[in-house]
Structure 1
Amino acid sequence: MTMTASFDRRQLLAGIGTAAVAAGLPSGAAAFVAPDKDARLDALLMRQFEAGLVEDPTGATSLALDTGARAALRSRFPDWSAAGRAAKAKRVDRNLAELRAIGRSGLGDQAGLAWDCAEFDLLARQRLNRFRYHTGGFCHRPGPYAVTQLGGFYTGVGTFLDSQHPVKTRADADAYMARLAAVPALIDADTALVKKNAAAGVIAPRFILDKALQQLARLRDGEPASKTLVSSIARRSGEIGLSGYGDRAAAIFAGPIRAALTRQIEALTALLPRAGDAPGVSGLPEGEAYYAAALAQHTTTTMTADEIHRLGLEQVADLNARMDTLLKAQGYRDGSIRDRLAALGNAPGQAFANTDEGRAELLAYLNGRLVAVRERLPRVFSRLPKAPYEIRRVPPEIEIGAPGGSAQAGTPDGSRPGIFFINLRDTGEWPRYTLPTLAYHEGAPGHLFEGALKYEDAGLPIYRQTASVTAYGEGWGLYAEQVADELGMYDDDPLGKIGYLASFAFRAARLVVDTGMHAKGWSRDKAVEYLAATSSKISAAQTEIDRYIVYPGQACAYKIGQIAISRLRDEVASRPGFTQAKFHDTVLGAGRVPLTVLEWRVGAAFPAA
């Protein structure tokens, strides 16, 4: 099923890079290619990639690259001091200057693609870096606030150390302890950044601070041994025959970490009287320009907030009409779409028990869907990943403010599987009919599937395998739901088909509410009410809206990316040599790329007759 909208393909796929990028893309006649220039570019991008690992050692750990000559990185965190953040911004400027010194002309197709992608990424980061309050890095989702319910070292350091930092040797355990000892300074650096931004008039809304404070208190209080930061090293060090690490970790938590969390709680509490209720960034210094830069980075288009808002309204109306037909066929005829989805969610057989046993059953059902869809994927994919992927629960201690879920890619060497973390604080937020499409979006053929194939492509250099482009990545996840539908995964599951359409409507509504809050003055309540109309739970809508508030623009990437990929497929479907498998090979064969680069790549693979 291909969704329709009034915006033509050229408008949707307009890039945010310089005009020279589009002008430099190869045409039918091949330009002169200097292999030595391709090699120079590859060497530069590898050197910049290596420098990035040193700057952010957690990235090296996440990719299982902190071994051999990089082994020292395993015991370090990024430098999050003011000087460290300034150095990071300067490196972006320097990398861009080095890239442009090589130039785009004369590069081969693959090298040219790498150049275009690198320039896009560096330009996008440079644009956002000029807003001094912009925050982005390890445990910090790109946004204007340093500490929120979703951002700040306190939100991600436990999950990172538990699920990504290996503990297989004494050296690994010692590296864990070195990182644990560095946590208080990182929390304090966040606190200092909060105060600095507050002095410039950048303060998160009061309800965001309230959520962050609840989570900080939940992390700080209670027995140290129960905390993931402590229990993880205690358990895993014991499994390899080491002793004493749990006690040492508990002492670090009870002392310096707890004290740093208290200082952060005090700093955020002090800001509550000054915090407002406006959810959008328009009231921040240069807020309108900041939001435009965030939209451009996440969607990789030049679509304005007004254009995205209108597109969202059109998509929601179309999808609601489709759901109306299917709901009536299942006997749900009366009330709004939201009311009928709520009734469906409360129907017998839809709820999993809100207990540990019920959560385990829910996880088993999701992972079962991944097994089922895998049998059909060879019909439209020429390659299936060898690496495993799975779905797990978000750690309970951060689930209050965490989003509904998030994906964690596996490692290039296959030593750690791809994982999707689902928030199971309330299983009532996940009725059975919503789960199949979640499995396809996050698992296969969505994020974890795509990520594993990317890492298993020997032809992709590591800097392309690890690239992140929101519109492509999230667009592919939503497009994967469409592929699952086309493979017949809902043929004997009409309620799951309703869940699929509701998922699309939910992402379309994001276009409306994100732009509504950040560009059109919508209140939080108005945004929640609008989003909840495509959902069955107000609580889930509130969690999502609060995510968009602190992470402006990102929520627009899903539907923009899906529409772009789907329309590109429709455009080339009648051209010579087209098959679904070849199209998917083309889309997946370059790693994550801006939509403009993807447009060129697909057009080159399927030229018009």
Structure 2
Amino acid sequence: MLNRRHLLAASAAAIGLGVNQQVAAQSPTAVQARLLYDQIFEGMLAADPLNASGLGLDTGRRAVLKTKVGDRSEAGRLGAFRPLIDARSQLKAINRQSLSGRDLTQYDTVVWFADHCAEAEKFPFVGVDSYDYPVPYVLTQLSGAYQEVPDALATKHGIETREDCEAYLARLNDFAKALGDEVARAKDNAARGVVPPDFIIDKAVAQLKALAAETGETSGLASSLGRRAQQKGLGSDWGAKAAAIVDGPVASGLAAQIALLTAQRRTAGHEASVTRGPIPAGFYEYALRFHTTTKLTPDEAHKIGLTQVADLTARLDPLLKAQGYTQGSVAQRLDAFAKDPAQLYPNTEAGRAELLAELNRQMAAVKAECPRVFNTIPRAGMEIRRVPPAIELGAPRGYAESGSLDGVRPGVFYINLRDTNDWAKWALPTLTYHEAVPGHLFQGALLLEAGDAPLLFKNLGFTAYGEGWGLYGEQLGDELGMYDAYPAGRIGWLQSFLYRAARIVLDTGIHSKGWSRERAIAYMSENVGLPQGAGENEIDRYVVWPGQACGYKIGHTEIDRLRTKAKQALGARFDIKGFHDAVLLGGSLPLDVLERVVDEWTVAQGRA
């Protein structure tokens, strides 16, 4: 999955000049729209300073952003949604009929996003987390400043000067403030009756305690600054200065969050569904629309998931038999195959290193085949790393972060290696194709190096598009022949599709049909065959991110449908490289806007 959907296509040094040149070449209405987009984008950077640092846009007139982590108070609960919400009247004042081509695509995309951001405002308990998702709970295993800030400071906050060190200390103090603001918001939500389920609180408390246990100059927060400052010859006392804040206001903030959640745990319910108590069914319906960019109802999505689970189960059956697994259900055989000792890496640091080395080999191998189906191969660096151990208990199985605008920070695919027994060797290639090449990192790098769209447009992201492309990247792995000499890998690919289809069933089952956590875990085990720990982690993720899990397979199904539609219309004129340009180079789009783009490309190809 994509950790951040901020896939921008410009260099940081050329932002001002690039915008002015673009404006000069566009129609008056397009100029009006672009200037508004730039205004919104600046507001989004101010609302999400850690993203500004990740993009390398925290210098010059934006340098103050390097001292902040973002407003986590009630006033800031909608985060980067707020500038879009505030600009809706100005967006609607633009004459849409005067726009065409890429300008119209951009306008419709931004308006779609702004309208759906505004819907979140209807629900007073909703906040926007670091993934830019509308979420019902302030503190969970996947949301809260504690979950985002430490890694962001280590990987996104650059240290080159003494001013950078001072900004780091300021950010630590702002982190402490954010922790307190989140306590206040979580208390307000509890007064409304909105409290996470008990099992979610348990995971969040475990992770908070792990972070709180890191103290002094050896803590990750302090040592990151101390080590890097010394490497740059900036002095040896920065670690001690950071430790004073870590052991003071940050420790107090973490203790307050632990105390709050511990108190809430005593009376928290066990019901998994977000549609309970004061949270109306309308919130889940909204979340489903937000993540799938469709008008599918929960019932319609549930039926799609059931159909695809049945189809993929049938496809896996003969492949498992060919591997010698003939007894039991498909899920039971997948589970048995995944537990084969020959398919597992040792659950040791050496085993983890061996696994990471194999993933890097797989990434290089598939990248070498990509010129067959892509016009452009990105130049940007791409790396594969382990999820930081401090957050791996609640973190997803894998996720990707795009690189910085200037190319200094590479795109990174993070894999959760808490337990290597969660990763059978035959399941790893498809993960590489999804998260790295030709999936998320590839997609993000192309946008870093090509195109001239407004930065706002490149800063928006849609689950169905981004994760749909990730699954399509897995499909391309098969089409490029990556499993021809490794048929077990094809089982991994189809199981990946199977559990993404099962996600639709599970997400809608939990949030619209009242499924319990236990029933959902049992469905995952009985139909997908994921290891127990991985299955539980998946279910807990759906509980706190309603609707998000449905975007993957619904997005992939639509991208694949659009390709089939274009091939049928064009016949021998269909060009897979051109199709990929049409889908990728315009950036992330709602699915109905994407269909219009592909249809226009198809018509143009037919005339060529």
1:229 to 221, 224, 229: 221
Unpaired runs of 5+ in structure 1? 1-32
Separation in structure 2 between the aligned mates of residue 317 and residue 487 of structure 1, nearest angstrom: 26
Q: How does 1:160-559 map to 2 (within 5 A)?
A: 160-241=152-233, 242-532=235-525, 533-559=527-553
Matched-pair contact (CA < 8 Å) for 2:130–2:143: no
2:54 to 55, 62, 77: 62
Separation in structure 2 between the aligned mates of residue 120 and residue 259 of structure 1, nearest angstrom: 41
Separation in structure 1 between the aligned mates of residue 336 and residue 263 of structure 2, nearest angstrom: 43
Relative distance call for 1:603 and 1:469 in structure 2 (3 A) is: same
Separation in structure 2 between the aligned mates of residue 415 and residue 465 of structure 1, nearest angstrom: 18
Matched-pair contact (CA < 8 Å) for 1:464–1:590: no
Matched-pair contact (CA < 8 Å) for 2:43–2:83: no
Report the alpha carbon displacement of residue 141 of structure 1 after superposing the two structures with TM: 4.6
Secondary structure, aligned partner of 2:87: helix
Matched-pair contact (CA < 8 Å) for 1:407–1:419: yes
Separation in structure 2 between the aligned mates of residue 308 and residue 57 of structure 1, nearest angstrom: 36
Matched-pair contact (CA < 8 Å) for 1:140–1:153: no
Report the alpha carbon displacement of residue 332 of structure 1 after superposing the two structures with TM: 0.5
CA shift digits 1:531-561 (9 cap, x unpaired): 1231331110000100000000000000000
Give the aligned residue type for 2:587. Answer: G
Report the alpha carbon displacement of residue 336 of structure 1 after superposing the two structures with TM: 1.9
Separation in structure 1 between the aligned mates of residue 546 and residue 71 of structure 2, nearest angstrom: 25
2:576 to 570, 576, 580: 580
Report the alpha carbon displacement of residue 56 of structure 1 after superposing the two structures with TM: 2.0
Identify which range, 525-534 or 484-493, moves more after superposition. Answer: 525-534
Relative distance call for 1:349 and 1:268 in structure 2 (3 A) is: same
Separation in structure 2 between the aligned mates of residue 78 and residue 103 of structure 1, nearest angstrom: 34
Give the aligned residue type for 2:194. Answer: V
Separation in structure 2 between the aligned mates of residue 234 and residue 287 of structure 1, nearest angstrom: 48
Report the counterpart of residue 561 of structure 2 in structure 1: 567
Relative distance call for 1:141 and 1:465 in structure 2 (3 A) is: closer
Normalised by the length of structure 2, the TM-score is 0.92
Matched-pair contact (CA < 8 Å) for 2:54–2:157: yes
Report the alpha carbon displacement of residue 355 of structure 1 after superposing the two structures with TM: 1.0
Unpaired runs of 5+ in structure 2? 1-24
Report the alpha carbon displacement of residue 149 of structure 1 after superposing the two structures with TM: 0.8
Separation in structure 1 between the aligned mates of residue 51 and residue 532 of structure 2, nearest angstrom: 36
Relative distance call for 1:222 and 1:508 in structure 2 (3 A) is: same
Relative distance call for 1:87 and 1:225 in structure 2 (3 A) is: closer
Separation in structure 2 between the aligned mates of residue 141 and residue 90 of structure 1, nearest angstrom: 13
Matched-pair contact (CA < 8 Å) for 1:139–1:157: no
Report the counterpart of residue 109 of structure 1 in structure 2: 101
Relative distance call for 1:168 and 1:323 in structure 2 (3 A) is: same
Separation in structure 2 between the aligned mates of residue 326 and residue 34 of structure 1, nearest angstrom: 54
Give the aligned residue type for 1:590. Answer: G
Report the counterpart of residue 12 of structure 1 in structure 2: none
Matched-pair contact (CA < 8 Å) for 2:400–2:441: yes
Report the alpha carbon displacement of residue 128 of structure 1 after superposing the two structures with TM: 1.5
Report the alpha carbon displacement of residue 251 of structure 1 after superposing the two structures with TM: 1.6
Task: Give the alignment's Cα RMSD to 1 decimal.
Answer: 1.7
Matched-pair contact (CA < 8 Å) for 1:34–1:106: no
Give the aligned residue type for 2:535. Answer: A
Identify which range, 92-101 or 416-425, moves more after superposition. Answer: 92-101
Report the alpha carbon displacement of residue 43 of structure 1 after superposing the two structures with TM: 0.8
Report the counterpart of residue 30 of structure 1 in structure 2: none
Report the counterpart of residue 602 of structure 2 in structure 1: 606
Report the alpha carbon displacement of residue 389 of structure 1 after superposing the two structures with TM: 0.9
Report the alpha carbon displacement of residue 347 of structure 1 after superposing the two structures with TM: 2.2
Matched-pair contact (CA < 8 Å) for 1:380–1:581: yes
Identify which range, 488-497 or 285-294, moves more after superposition. Answer: 285-294
Relative distance call for 1:88 and 1:542 in structure 2 (3 A) is: closer
CA shift digits 1:110-150 (9 cap, x unpaired): 11111101111111111122101111143775310000011
Highest relative contact order (Cα 8 Å, sep 6+), 1 or 2? 2
Relative distance call for 1:603 and 1:226 in structure 2 (3 A) is: same
Secondary structure, aligned partner of 2:346: coil
Separation in structure 1 between the aligned mates of residue 382 and residue 38 of structure 2, nearest angstrom: 28
Give the aligned residue type for 1:552. Answer: P
Matched-pair contact (CA < 8 Å) for 2:435–2:441: yes
Give the aligned residue type for 1:574. Answer: Q
Report the alpha carbon displacement of residue 348 of structure 1 after superposing the two structures with TM: 4.0
Report the counterpart of residue 592 of structure 2 in structure 1: 596
Report the alpha carbon displacement of residue 255 of structure 1 after superposing the two structures with TM: 1.4
Give the total of aligned pairs. 577
Normalised by the length of structure 1, the TM-score is 0.92
Give the aligned residue type for 1:595. Answer: L
Matched-pair contact (CA < 8 Å) for 1:207–1:277: yes
2:74 to 75, 78, 82: 82
Separation in structure 1 between the aligned mates of residue 79 and residue 67 of structure 2, nearest angstrom: 21
Report the counterpart of residue 11 of structure 1 in structure 2: none
Report the alpha carbon displacement of residue 87 of structure 1 after superposing the two structures with TM: 8.8
Relative distance call for 1:314 and 1:226 in structure 2 (3 A) is: farther
Give the aligned residue type for 2:227. Answer: R
Separation in structure 1 between the aligned mates of residue 490 and residue 131 of structure 2, nearest angstrom: 35
Matched-pair contact (CA < 8 Å) for 1:455–1:465: no
Separation in structure 2 between the aligned mates of residue 498 and residue 38 of structure 1, nearest angstrom: 48
Relative distance call for 1:321 and 1:258 in structure 2 (3 A) is: same
Separation in structure 1 between the aligned mates of residue 540 and residue 56 of structure 2, nearest angstrom: 32
Relative distance call for 1:453 and 1:140 in structure 2 (3 A) is: closer
Report the alpha carbon displacement of residue 34 of structure 1 after superposing the two structures with TM: 8.2
Which consecutive segments of 4 or more residues in structure 1 shift more than 6 A? Answer: 86-89
Report the alpha carbon displacement of residue 77 of structure 1 after superposing the two structures with TM: 2.1
Report the counterpart of residue 131 of structure 1 in structure 2: 123
Separation in structure 1 between the aligned mates of residue 79 and residue 579 of structure 2, nearest angstrom: 41
Matched-pair contact (CA < 8 Å) for 1:225–1:246: yes
Report the alpha carbon displacement of residue 315 of structure 1 after superposing the two structures with TM: 0.5
